Amino acid sequence: IANTIYNAFASYVCGRKIEDLTSGFRVIRAKLAKNIVYLLPNTFSYPTTMTLAVVRGGFSLKYVPIEVKRRVGRSKIKLLRDGSRFLLIILKIATFYAPLKIFVPASVSMFLLGFGYGLFKVLVLNARYGPTSAMLMTVSALVFLVGLVSEQVAQLRLDHSEQE
């Protein structure tokens, strides 16, 4: 189930279907590898980072099915520790290549939560529109603005790397 969630989130971030983020054989051109090697961690999660960086960088990716023997024993992957690491990698690549894909949903969620809570207080509880609602909506605007700045920085970085 966790792998399906990670693949779906990675697909959203990349804007393209990611069939399997964590396994498979990967072949990459040396020139492209040199451009993304600084993104790669020193742990087993480098295939995840590489796949996301290649796809978000606008390069083509082809899935070639391979046959593997069923593994004997238990997986060394720990759900919470490694799952949070995978999520962090996906967020890192997303904010590196397409920050608005992360910041806009977060901003909209906070705004709707603040607006909804404010309406609930006024219409249902007959209370005043409180500071919690105003704060959530203000923070949502700040998150959106940080997303815009991040998007501009990402675009400048991509434009600069294309010129080299």
Asked if 3 and 36 sit in the same domain, the reply is yes
Spell out the residues 6+ positions from residue 133 whose beta carbon is closer than 8 angstroms to its own: 114, 115, 117, 118, 121
Asked if 88 and 105 sit in the same domain, the reply is no
Asked if 121 and 79 sit in the same domain, the reply is no
The C-alpha atoms of residue 69 and residue 75 are separated, in whole angstroms, by: 14
Of 98, 119, 135, which residue sits at a domain end?
A: 98
Q: Tell me the residue length of the chain.
A: 164
- pLDDT value of position 163: 54
- pLDDT value of position 160: 59
The C-alpha atoms of residue 59 and residue 45 are separated, in whole angstroms, by: 20
Asked if 50 and 63 sit in the same domain, the reply is yes
Asked if 89 and 115 sit in the same domain, the reply is no
Range of the domain at 74: 1-98
- pLDDT value of position 141: 98
Of 81, 98, 115, which residue sits at a domain end?
A: 98
Q: What is the mean pLDDT of the chain?
A: 83
Amino acid at 10: A
Asked if 45 and 78 sit in the same domain, the reply is yes
Number of domains in the chain: 2
Greatest mean pLDDT range, 40-44, 72-76, 125-129: 125-129
Asked if 133 and 164 sit in the same domain, the reply is yes
Asked if 75 and 8 sit in the same domain, the reply is yes
Asked if 84 and 115 sit in the same domain, the reply is no
Distance spanning both ends of the chain, measured CA to CA: 41
Of 98, 116, 133, which residue sits at a domain end?
A: 98
138-159: average pLDDT: 91
Rounded CA Rg of the chain: 20
Structure tokens at 25: 């054989």
pLDDT of 98 > 90? The answer is no
Asked if 94 and 20 sit in the same domain, the reply is yes
Burial class (CB in 10 A: 0-12, 13-18, 19+), 72: exposed
Confidence of residue 159 (pLDDT cuts 50, 70, 90): low
Asked if 78 and 13 sit in the same domain, the reply is yes
The C-alpha atoms of residue 145 and residue 117 are separated, in whole angstroms, by: 22
Under a CB-based contact definition with an 8 Å cutoff, are residues 47 and 26 in contact?
A: yes
Greatest mean pLDDT range, 48-57, 60-69, 78-87, 104-113: 104-113
Helix residue ranges, H only, 57-99: 79-97
Asked if 103 and 93 sit in the same domain, the reply is no
